[in-house]
């Protein structure tokens, strides 16, 4: 297997995208394998945000000549602003409605309060 | 002799990301209750953003990046909608997740 010719921007973009795709694959395996809904949310909320940010950084470096890096940074800021909101809303809904907390949580710090 | 080109590596990364998306669809299918499916839906929306960006790079179409922005916003709105629905639905007969 011989290597073709790469520019420095292409190599940097591929390294960033490979890191991001690895994060997203690990996150998906965590969503499939972890035992309850809160730990699945932990896997989804952290690793997927970091993974897609690395993918978008790599794409911004690849599209550097077309002046699209600022658009990718805008998308990263959008995802970093919206993903914690979505994850906390999901966690609050799961805590309020489902019966999983009586099965899985050994220590419930906000029991009795209204979260 | 395979030449290790940029497009080949990008195809490999697209394949890995598609496998990851398939794993999320498995979680969406086996549930076992609506909070788990909401987590899977959120992850699927993020995967769609990454897949659109990688496809824009693969086919040299920078105008597809606007579609990625719209997909991110729609995924957030859909996740918030499902979460608010679950909060107010009072569905007490869900199956518990013991797996």
Q: Is A56 on the interface with B (CB under 8 A)?
A: yes
Q: Which residues contact B33 (CB under 8 A, 6 or more apart)?
A: A37, A98, A100, B94, B95, B96, B97
Q: Is B6 on the interface with A (CB under 8 A)?
A: yes
- pTM score: 0.86
pLDDT in tens, A76-86: 999 999 999 99
Q: Say if residue B94's pLDDT is above 50.
A: yes
- ipTM of the complex as predicted: 0.84
What is the total count of domains within chain A? 1
Q: Say if residue B1's pLDDT is above 80.
A: no
Under DSSP, the state recorded for B1 is -
Record the tokens describing residue A82, joined without a space: 């919206």
pLDDT in tens, B32-42: 788 889 999 99
Contact B5 A4 (CB under 8 A): yes
d(CA A75, nearest CA chain B) in Å: 6
d(CA B98, nearest CA chain A) in Å: 8
Tell me whether residue A41 is in a domain.
Answer: yes
Q: Which residues contact B77 (CB under 8 A, 6 or more apart)?
A: none
Record the tokens describing residue B4, joined without a space: 């290790």
- pLDDT, chain A, mean: 83
Q: Which of A67-71, A111-115, B43-47, B79-83 has the lowest mean pLDDT?
A: A111-115
Tell me whether residue A110 is in a domain.
Answer: no
Q: Say if residue A98's pLDDT is above 80.
A: no
CA A88 → CA A31, A67, A82, B77, B85, distances in Å?
A: 17, 34, 10, 14, 14
Contact A55 B73 (CB under 8 A): no
Average pLDDT score over residue span B2-11: 85
Locate the chain B residue with the closest alpha carbon to A54.
B50
d(CA B37, nearest CA chain A) in Å: 10
């Amino acid at each position: 297997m011989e290597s073709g010719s790469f520019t420095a921007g292409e190599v940097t973009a591929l390294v960033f995208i490979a890191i991001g795709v690895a994060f997203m694959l690990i996150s998906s395996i965590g969503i499939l394998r972890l035992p309850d809904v809160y730990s699945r949310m932990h896997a989804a909320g952290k690793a997927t945000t970091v993974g897609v940010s690395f993918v978008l950084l790599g794409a911004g470096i690849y599209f550097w000549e077309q002046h699209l890096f600022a658009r990718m940074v805008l998308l990263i800021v959008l995802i970093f602003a919206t993903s914690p909101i979505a994850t906390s809303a999901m966690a609050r809904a799961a805590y309020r409605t489902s019966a999983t907390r009586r099965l899985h949580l050994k220590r419930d710090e906000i029991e009795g309060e209204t979260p | 002799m395979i030449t290790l080109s940029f497009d080949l590596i990008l195809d490999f990364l697209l394949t890995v990301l598609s496998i990851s998306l398939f794993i999320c669809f498995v979680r969406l299918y086996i549930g076992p209750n609506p909070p788990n499916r909401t987590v899977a839906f959120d992850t699927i929306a993020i995967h769609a953003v990454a897949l659109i960006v990688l496809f824009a790079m693969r086919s040299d179409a920078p105008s597809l990046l606007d579609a990625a922005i719209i997909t991110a916003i729609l995924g957030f709105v859909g996740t918030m909608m499902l979460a608010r629905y679950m909060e107010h639905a009072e569905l007490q007969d869900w199956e518990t997740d013991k797996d």
